[in-house]
Amino acid sequence: MSDELIELEEEEHTSPLTGETFRRILGLLKPHWRWMVGFLLTIALTAGLDALFTYINRGLIDEGIGRGSIPTIWRYAAYYGSLQLVQAGLVFGFIYLAGILGERIQYDIRKALFNHLQDLSLSFYSQNAVGRLMARVTSDSGRVSSLMTWGLLDVTWAVVSVISSVAFMLAINWKLALIVFSIIPILLLIAVNFRKKILVEFRKSRRANSKITGEYNQNIQGVRVVKALGREDENLREFARLTDDMFRASFRAAWLSALFLPTVQIVSAFALGAIVWYGGMQSLTATFSVGDIHAFVSYLTFMIWPVQDLARVYAEMQHAVASAERIFTLLDTPPEVRDRPGALPAPTLRGVIEFDHVSFAYEDGKPVIQDFNLRVEPGEAVALVGETGGGKTTIVNLLCRFYEPTAGVIRINGRDYREYTLESIQSRIGVVLQTPHLFSGTIRENLRYGRLDATDEEIEAAARLAGAHDFIVTFEKGYDQPVGEGGNLLSVGQKQLISIARAVLANPEILILDEATSSVDTLTEALIQRGMEALMAGRTSFVIAHRLSTIKRADRIVVIEGGRIVESGTHAELLRRRGHYYRLYTRQFKFEKEQAYGVAAPSAVPVIK
Amino acid sequence: MSIAANSTYFDFRKALSKNRLAGMLRMMSGYRMAYVAANLTLAVSSLAKTATYLLLRNFADTVTGHTQPFAGSLAATLIWIALGFVALALVEGGFAFLSSRLASFSAENITRRLRNFLFDHIQRLPFSYHSRTPTGDLIERVTSDVDSVRTFFNDQAIGVGRIVLLFVINFAAIWSLSWKLALASVAVVPVIVAVSVWFFKKVSDAYEAYQEQEAKLSTTLQENLTGVRVVKAFARQDFEKTKFEQDNWEKFRRGKKLLKMHSLFWPLSDILCGFQMLGGFVFAGILAVHGEITIGTYPAYVGLVVWLIWPMRNLGRIIVNTSTGLVSYDRLMEIVKQEREPLTEGRVRPDGPARGEIVFEDVSFQYDDGNSDVVRNVSFRVRPGQSVALMGSTGSGKTTLVNLLPRFYDYTGGRILLDGVELKDYPRAWLRAQIGIVEQEPFLFSRSIRENITYGVGRDVPQEEVEAAARAAAIHEAILTFPEGYNTIVGEKGVTLSGGQKQRVAIARTLLKNPRILILDDSTSSVDTETEAEIRAALNRLMENRTTFIIAHRIQSVMNADLIVVMDKGEVVQIGTHAELLAQDGMYRKIYEIQTRIEEELEQEIRAF
């Protein structure tokens, strides 16, 4: 399922507001309560003033025009004008306060989420798609913050408008007011029902839309197959079915929305009719003036708008509560790997590293590593080889303490590494990943990621050592060349060289290299090899190795299959054994030679993965 | 092509125009009357609204005795008036609904056929277009640009009409009450419109800056989440927090700026509109006192003038949004104006399938942009049913050469004959139906395995036949291990196919298609030995009785070909059978020798231990 669909489903999820969630939502507002009080006051006053304007107009009609007094007209106009100015000030106030508060709350939520995400363990990331996490931070935060500001504002406005209209109507003529109020429940019923129906169609159209996008995407990416198989007409027929679905849903949603307002208006026309008839009859007894009629007609509209708006706000509130719950769930997730109480900073990692009967399972009952034993002397280079899925990467993840063993102990300097702080371990381990990950920004910024206080000279020295300097200076801006989003302006080989240089700069005590399988041109390949050699010199290193040169250079080769060590020894020892390693080696040998002679498939990946 | 004939398809090439508004108008073809009708019904609705206020005037004047009750007794008149309000509300609501319905019906229909057209158009554009256009860019255009064109037809195309109609009708109504009042009521309107246009222009810039920062923030977030291993490996959590904090704060700052603009515009325009209304009220009051208008005219005026002034505030938004729609029109037309690849044009239309004799005569090819030939003076002949192996390193031109056969690209020099007729004389659709392509790692669509196998076969295929093809392609057993067998959707629920499996699905598909000519990309070096034998057997079954072109890298896979064509730098350097080529001193023998040498070297390597 695509990220877009995941997001869609989450968006459709609604929750009733529970006490606990409500308390926590209020907790988010707590630091800014002054702002909230401010906008609630200003919106309440704004709505109240709206009702007052009508009252003023009534006075103007009855006392001014009715009695033919121009000074009275001017007096009321002066009231009106000054209140207009006051109201403008209030409008400024609530837009400013609610709007900025909304931005601020979103800022707060995003910050809390991001900071918490940094502390979560890798296991959390392997269980949660990036798209989902992105949605937490981007859209869920927006939904919650707008509920707490604009949503709350709409509710306050609606409630105050209705109450003040009701109050003024009661004050003018309570009997007529009661007749008019009888339409309120009808309006609410209509509003809620319409909202539901429209929402259903709206969701359908969102769903159809994301299918349409998916279909565009596939057809463009697979255009070669489409052309080769001459499937254009059938594709169009299939696609037209999707756009038909889209048409039906969005047209229905559109006309339902268009029907809503007229329905409300017609219902309220009955109230208007009642006002006219009753008011007209009353005027015979002179207890009901033209100003009163005018006022009633206006108050009627003040009542209708909020009522229909409340239905919308209520629907949005349910979604926002669901968003808030997802946010709180994420914030409540504890990191699986964290410092034990009383953990000490490791003085150094330059010591014996020992895997002692280590087992590990991502899921219960499905061990990836079983009873793994390995002792590595300081400065030793160990090559881990074996088929994909054998457990090599897991071993490296355990060593980095991205995960901790489910059984057994990993010791550094003879001490269980869980007795050390995470920071002191991870800051001393250098990792070069198989698919290098760069961040948007310049090459220099990416290199400096290895050591934040490195000088430009040190950065350049590291780049030289890693063999990256030469290609960097060919760029127009040299070290200040932007690498693009995720480094996509650079070639794979260049990204690898930069990630090596980054590790060089970090000057780690333990080195972990996951050799890339994707092929790069021979020159870059040689550079990468040399860079890796430079990096490994004098350090304890673990290499998930694919290439023979790397494997042969290791002090020890460990062949891993099914989460266990099946063979271990030097290159010569293992070849003599004619076992697993021997088979891997002969295949890889042919492959590499064919590549070297330029007779192999150019894009093929190495045999040993 | 049934779909081209129906209303859900329209040739948007007819909407190409230098004048964007004229272009938009042409896009509306077939729905222009609907838009006229939408505006007319809207006018009726607005008239009813205006009539409501005029009726209110008559009512107020009747009860105050300024007018005689038109139905004789006051009680009867009041009932008529009350019913009149309900009736007018029905007309107003009914026609407003009709108008919206017409507008959205047209907009949704135009959008549907626009989507259909773009989908079809894109899949019919030549390869040269697809190879130079990034998928993301196309997707962006067919989704968000289509959407803003849709918004244009849905909102702006009718919105301007709505505001203008409201203005004209209500202005006329007030004019009929008192021309002086009418003029006094619109004094500030030009200022309101000007301020509104100016503001929305400003706001759209600020909004863009805000969105830009939002995009930057999500990039930072995404890079952090996808690079979580790097972040943890370098223990850079704090650094990341700071980076996110900066982006997050900047977004807050820009949001604040945007809201400040809103918080100033709305109250200011409130004051403008409010004082314009107040001026009207006072003036109307004075006129009423002087007896120039009746007392009942006053509340009617107050109701009418609202619809004269407030909509003007939104005119700015509509005008600014229109420019968004026009920019999108341009971006879409850039796709629409691309020349399609004709599929059915051709002088020769054979009744049956091709025999499969292919002759290359002095064939050359170069890309539109490149100056040097990618393929140069290639000549050779293939008899029906023969197999031809193309050998050579990357960039030697062998892939380009086979791309010329289905006319993915047209050769630029010499000629290629199929069964004695030049390729350019056949319709592409027929030609492609004669050719089957099996790529090394074919593109599969995210639909069921069954649908992928029958994709493009162009007829209903019974399940037995699908299974027979899958068996012959050695993929049947593997399919049965998937959660839902043949109905398993590719890419869903973690069902990912290996390169070898994909290739075998493509083989099954090609077996069903049963073409006379076959193009095989045979780079099996990355597949492990067990599946290699299976694939080889499947390929051999596929090649029986078909003219076959094999792109290959290994002597092993070309030895048995009837003809081996060795290519280098776009030219044929050797042609012959395996035995003939071995006897010659040339590239082929060199490759052969290298591969034999590799075997020997390996022997030596291993013997040393």
Provide block-wise average pLDDT over 10 residues at a time, chain B (609 residues).
64 90 91 92 93 90 84 86 92 93 93 95 92 84 91 86 89 92 90 89 88 89 88 88 94 93 91 91 90 88 87 82 88 94 89 92 85 85 93 80 92 93 93 89 87 87 92 90 88 69 89 91 55 76 89 79 90 92 89 82 77
pLDDT tier at A609, thresholds 50, 70, 90: very low
> Strand, coil or helix: what is A340?
coil
**Residue in chain B lying closest to A106 (CA):** B252
Share of chain A above pLDDT 90, in %: 32
Tokens linked to A221: 């990416």
CATH class of B358-607: alpha beta
Determine which of B188, B253, B298 to mutate to test the interface with A (most A C-beta atoms within 10 Å): B298
Among A232, A233, A426, the residue with its CB nearest the CB of B232 is A426
What per-residue confidence (pLDDT) applies to B527? 46
Q: Are residues A21 and A151 in the same domain?
A: yes
Q: Which of A439, A466, A564, A323 is nearest to B220 (CA)?
A: A439
Answer whether residue A92 is part of any domain: yes
In this structure, are residues B91 and B44 in contact, taking their beta carbons and an 8 Å threshold? Answer: yes
Backbone angles phi, psi at A388, to 5 degrees: -60, 145
In this structure, are residues B365 and B373 in contact, taking their beta carbons and an 8 Å threshold? Answer: yes
Answer whether residue A55 is part of any domain: yes
d(CA B410, CA A44): 72
Q: Is B528 on the interface with A (CB under 8 A)?
A: yes
Query: Strand A381-385 to strand A540-544: parallel, antiparallel, or no bridges (unpaired)?
Result: parallel
State mean pLDDT over A71-80. Answer: 92
Residue numbers in B near A100 (CB within 8 A): 255-256, 259
What per-residue confidence (pLDDT) applies to B3? 53
- Tell me the pLDDT tens digit for each residue of A176-226: 888 888 888 888 888 888 888 888 888 888 889 888 988 998 899 888 888
Burial class of residue A460, CB neighbours in 10 A (0-12, 13-18, 19+): buried
Q: Which of A429, A441, A503, A514 is nearest to A466 (CA)?
A: A503
Find the Cα–Cα–Cα–Cα dihedral B519, B523, B529, B533, rounded to 10°: 10
Q: Is the dihedral of CA B107, B109, B115, B120 positive or negative?
A: negative
* Final residue belonging to a domain, choices A336, A367, A387: A336
The CATH number of whichever domain residue A20 belongs to comes to 1.20.1560.10
Answer whether residue A194 is part of any domain: no
Tokens linked to A513: 């290299």
Q: Is A452 on the interface with B (CB under 8 A)?
A: yes
d(CA A486, CA A506): 20
d(CA A455, CA B231): 21
Cβ burial A90-104 (10 Å sphere, 16+ → b, else e) = bbbbbbbbbbbbbbb
Determine which of B9, B53, B86, B234 to mutate to test the interface with A (most A C-beta atoms within 10 Å): B234
Answer whether residue A64 is part of any domain: yes
Among B85, B251, B302, the residue with its CB nearest the CB of A273 is B85
Query: Strand A381-385 to strand A556-561: parallel, antiparallel, or no bridges (unpaired)?
Result: parallel
Determine which of B526, B557, B591 to mutate to test the interface with A (most A C-beta atoms within 10 Å): B526
What per-residue confidence (pLDDT) applies to A603? 38
Q: Which of A86-95, A423-432, A588-597, B313-322 is predicted most confidently?
A: A86-95
Residue with tokens 């091709």: B354
* Residue A556 parent element (H or E): strand A556-561
In this structure, are residues A372 and A409 in contact, taking their beta carbons and an 8 Å threshold? Answer: no
Answer whether residue A554 is part of any domain: no
Among B122, B218, B270, the residue with its CB nearest the CB of A134 is B218
Q: Going along B61-148, which residue ranges are E strands?
A: none
What per-residue confidence (pLDDT) applies to A1? 39
Does residue A602 carry a pLDDT above 70? no
A110–B267: do the CB atoms touch at under 8 Å? no
CB contacts < 8 Å between A and B, how many?
427
Q: Is the dihedral of CA A427, A432, A437, A439 positive or negative?
A: positive
What per-residue confidence (pLDDT) applies to B2? 47
pLDDT tier at A534, thresholds 50, 70, 90: confident
The CATH number of whichever domain residue A444 belongs to comes to 3.40.50.300
- Distances from the Cα of A378 to the Cα of A360, A507, A532, A558, angstroms: 24, 15, 18, 17
* Final residue belonging to a domain, choices A305, A336, A367: A336
pLDDT tier at A519, thresholds 50, 70, 90: low
d(CA B76, CA B86): 16
pLDDT tier at A426, thresholds 50, 70, 90: confident
The 3-class SS string of A348-411 reads CCCCCEEEEEEEEEEECCEEEEEEEEEEECCCCEEEEECCCCCCHHHHHHHHCCCCCCCEEEEE
Q: Can you name the residues that pair with B121 across neighbouring β-strands?
A: none
B345 residue type, one letter: E
* Final residue belonging to a domain, choices A473, A507, A541: A507
Least confident range from A416-430, A519-533, B567-581: namely A519-533
Answer whether residue A359 is part of any domain: no
B100–A84: do the CB atoms touch at under 8 Å? no
A92–B264: do the CB atoms touch at under 8 Å? yes
Residues 136 through 155 of chain A touching chain B, CB cutoff 8 Å:
137-138
In this structure, are residues B405 and B519 in contact, taking their beta carbons and an 8 Å threshold? Answer: yes
Answer whether residue A329 is part of any domain: yes
- Tell me the pLDDT tens digit for each residue of A350-396: 889 999 999 998 777 778 888 999 999 998 999 998 877 778 888 98
B281–A133: do the CB atoms touch at under 8 Å? no
- Total tally of structural domains belonging to chain A: 2
Q: Is A71 on the interface with B (CB under 8 A)?
A: no
Find the Cα–Cα–Cα–Cα dihedral A31, A35, A39, A45, rounded to 10°: 110
pTM listed for this prediction = 0.81
Tokens linked to B41: 């019904």
CA atoms within 13 Å, Cβ hemisphere of A545: 29
What per-residue confidence (pLDDT) applies to B385? 92
What is the domain partition of chain B in residue ranges?
11-177, 358-607
Q: Is B74 on the interface with A (CB under 8 A)?
A: yes
Residue numbers in B near A263 (CB within 8 A): 93
Residues 209 through 238 of chain B touching chain A, CB cutoff 8 Å:
214, 217-237
A466 residue type, one letter: A
B251–A269: do the CB atoms touch at under 8 Å? no
d(CA B553, CA B394): 10
Burial class of residue B176, CB neighbours in 10 A (0-12, 13-18, 19+): exposed
CA distance A372 to chain B (A): 23
A134–B225: do the CB atoms touch at under 8 Å? yes
What per-residue confidence (pLDDT) applies to B109? 94
The ipTM assigned to this model is 0.85
Answer whether residue A343 is part of any domain: no
Residues 266 through 305 of chain A touching chain B, CB cutoff 8 Å:
266, 268-270, 272-274, 276-277, 279-281, 283-284, 290, 293-294, 297
- Tell me the pLDDT tens digit for each residue of A230-246: 888 889 999 999 999 99
Higher pLDDT, A287 or B74: B74
Q: Is B105 on the interface with A (CB under 8 A)?
A: yes
Residue numbers in B near A454 (CB within 8 A): none
DSSP readout, A125-141? HHHS-HHHHHHIIIIIH
Q: Is B8 on the interface with A (CB under 8 A)?
A: yes
CA distance A401 to chain B (A): 9
Among A257, A423, A599, the residue with its CB nearest the CB of B235 is A423
CA atoms within 13 Å, Cβ hemisphere of A107: 21
B299–A283: do the CB atoms touch at under 8 Å? no
Cα B396 versus chain centre, distance: 35
d(CA A209, CA A536): 52
A251–B105: do the CB atoms touch at under 8 Å? yes
d(CA A296, CA A507): 80
CA distance A535 to chain B (A): 16
Among A107, A281, A449, the residue with its CB nearest the CB of B78 is A281
What per-residue confidence (pLDDT) applies to B299? 86
Residue numbers in A near B108 (CB within 8 A): 247, 250-251, 254
What per-residue confidence (pLDDT) applies to B526? 46
**Residue in chain A lying closest to B404 (CA):** A228
- Distances from the Cα of A443 to the Cα of A438, B294, B530, angstroms: 9, 79, 44
Cβ burial B15-45 (10 Å sphere, 16+ → b, else e) = beeeebeebbebbbeebeebbebbbbbbbbb
Find the Cα–Cα–Cα–Cα dihedral B112, B115, B120, B122, rounded to 10°: 170
Q: Which of A594, A157, A208, A575 is nearest to B604 (CA)?
A: A575
Residue span of the structural domain in which A480 resides: 430-507
**Residue in chain B lying closest to A241 (CA):** B116
Q: Are residues A323 and A452 in the same domain?
A: no
CATH class of B11-177: mainly alpha
In this structure, are residues B440 and B503 in contact, taking their beta carbons and an 8 Å threshold? Answer: yes
Tokens linked to B594: 């290298």
A74–B282: do the CB atoms touch at under 8 Å? yes
